[in-house]
Structure 1
Amino acid sequence: MERPRKAVVVTGFGPFGEHTVNASWIAVQELQKLGLGDGVELHVYEIPVEYETVRTLVPALWERHSPQLVVHVGVSGMATTVTLEKCGHNKGYQGLDNCRFCPGSQCCVEDGPESLDSVIDMDAVCQRVAALGLDVSVSISQDAGRYLCDFAYYTSLYRSRGRSAFVHVPPLGKPYSAEQLGRALRVIIELMLEFLEPSEEATANGRHGR
């Protein structure tokens, strides 16, 4: 009997500020062309840079697809590497979005934890990517920026109990092309799925053992 295909959702952001072309969405579209192999059903979405849309859309994607993993991709004007974010933060959102809005509470989830970590070991993923010798450098971060990227990540981590990831990419051409970013995303997400599988098997065994 064939194993069911895993659903994976990958999002990029739309234009904002100086990023009239958002490298994150371009990179996600390149990933879509490549796919994640026959065993994965890939769903991609462009998310507008709006707090209220993120607040409703991210949980809706979890409901719609019941994915094994959701990976959010965003652009950082300061990044020169592809950056794996370890955690999302609940408070400190003061930057105005494309609608000139920011949450009155300046937080994602009222009474939520200060920060939430991904269940994926980003250090291990980073080491594996480095060992493959890609033409893209990958690094680790614990601060996704307290703007829509961080807001989306925390919202997703909260909804998924940590089964989310966030990847920051540099602007296009600084230094990587869209094709390089798409290939890097494919490798990174395939490794993340590998890291998720052992923990799922352990959970299943634990359930059967009781």
Structure 2
Amino acid sequence: MRTVLLTGFEPFDQDTINPSWEAVRLLDGTQLGDDVRIIARQLPCAFANAGACLNELLAEHRPQMAIAIGLAPGRSDLSIERVAININDARIPDNLGHQPIDSPVVPGGPAAYFSTLPIKAMVRALRAVGIPASVSQTAGTFVCNQVFYSLQHALADSAVRSGFIHVPYLPEQAARSAPGQPSLALEILAEGLRIAALTAWNTQVDLAETGGQVS
């Protein structure tokens, strides 16, 4: 049985839930084909051990594809990330109280890594079923970007394709702590991630269509 590893994060910034994990864990064990299934695992929201935890999961499960998922407050869709950068610059402390500023994810590593997923095909597939999605040009500089960069770095010399997706708040989160912020229902997030993973698995060559931004 071949595997697709999906990861989500534990809650952070004094919240009690994280939609990335709530959606991902619903997909644990989901079949994407006769011989491929999703394995869902949670990552800590901490600079000191998120990357190490990710590497342990890669070594344990040896996935044929890996997608990390995180929360991006303020976004309104499933944001398929294009690029991870080699910088940690935390606006807030992580769950261990650490707040690195202008430090590299991997000392001496490349300035950036691109996703190796068919990001534009994934966006098209999501939009085709009415789930809002877009290509994102930045994964930020918090633990999400650190994990994205660490994932691409770990798999850079392998044939395993990988990348990162940001998701919005859940409606109950927005109502409780961020009134007016965009959100998507858990069922939509989970189904969107399933479609994104399935599309990535079945698409070897990405679409050549616009996904850029003016600014």
- Counterpart check, 1:185 vs 2:193: yes
Q: Quick one: which amino acid aligns to residue 165 of structure 2?
A: V
Match of 1:88 in 2: 84
Match of 2:147 in 1: 152
- Counterpart check, 1:31 vs 2:27: yes
Q: 1:181 to 1:85 in 2, by over 3 A?
A: same
Match of 1:108 in 2: 105
TM-score (norm 2): 0.82
Instruction: Give the Cα–Cα distance (whole angstroms) in 1 for the partners of residues 187 and 27 of structure 2.
Output: 8
Contact 1:15–1:21 (Cα < 8 Å) also in 2: yes
Instruction: Give the Cα–Cα distance (whole angstroms) in 2 for the partners of residues 90 and 102 of structure 1.
Output: 16
Q: Quick one: which amino acid aligns to residue 30 of structure 1?
A: L
Higher mean displacement: 98-107 or 183-192: 98-107
Q: Quick one: which amino acid aligns to residue 146 of structure 2?
A: F
Match of 2:163 in 1: 165
Secondary structure of the corresponding residue to residue 48 of structure 2? helix
Contact 2:27–2:40 (Cα < 8 Å) also in 1: no
Please identify which structure carries the higher helix content. 1
Cα shift at 1:94: 3.1
Contact 2:88–2:100 (Cα < 8 Å) also in 1: no
* Runs of at least 5 residues in structure 1 that lack an aligned partner in the other structure: 200-210
Correspondence for 1:45 among 41, 49, 55: 41
* Runs of at least 5 residues in structure 2 that lack an aligned partner in the other structure: 172-181, 207-215
Q: Quick one: which amino acid aligns to residue 116 of structure 1?
A: Y
Match of 1:202 in 2: none
Cα shift at 1:34: 4.7
- Counterpart check, 1:175 vs 2:183: yes
Contact 1:94–1:106 (Cα < 8 Å) also in 2: no
Instruction: Give the Cα–Cα distance (whole angstroms) in 2 for the partners of residues 76 and 151 of structure 1.
Output: 14
Q: 1:60 to 1:25 in 2, by over 3 A?
A: same
Instruction: Give the Cα–Cα distance (whole angstroms) in 1 for the partners of residues 70 and 53 of structure 2.
Output: 16
Instruction: Give the Cα–Cα distance (whole angstroms) in 2 for the partners of residues 36 and 124 of structure 1.
Output: 17
Match of 2:67 in 1: 71
Secondary structure of the corresponding residue to residue 140 of structure 2? coil
Secondary structure of the corresponding residue to residue 36 of structure 1? strand
Equivalenced residues, count? 192
Instruction: Give the Cα–Cα distance (whole angstroms) in 1 for the partners of residues 16 and 106 of structure 2.
Output: 29
Instruction: Give the Cα–Cα distance (whole angstroms) in 2 for the partners of residues 172 and 104 of structure 1.
Output: 29
Correspondence for 1:56 among 42, 52, 61: 52
Q: Quick one: which amino acid aligns to residue 89 of structure 2?
A: Y
Instruction: Give the Cα–Cα distance (whole angstroms) in 1 for the partners of residues 193 and 44 of structure 2.
Output: 20
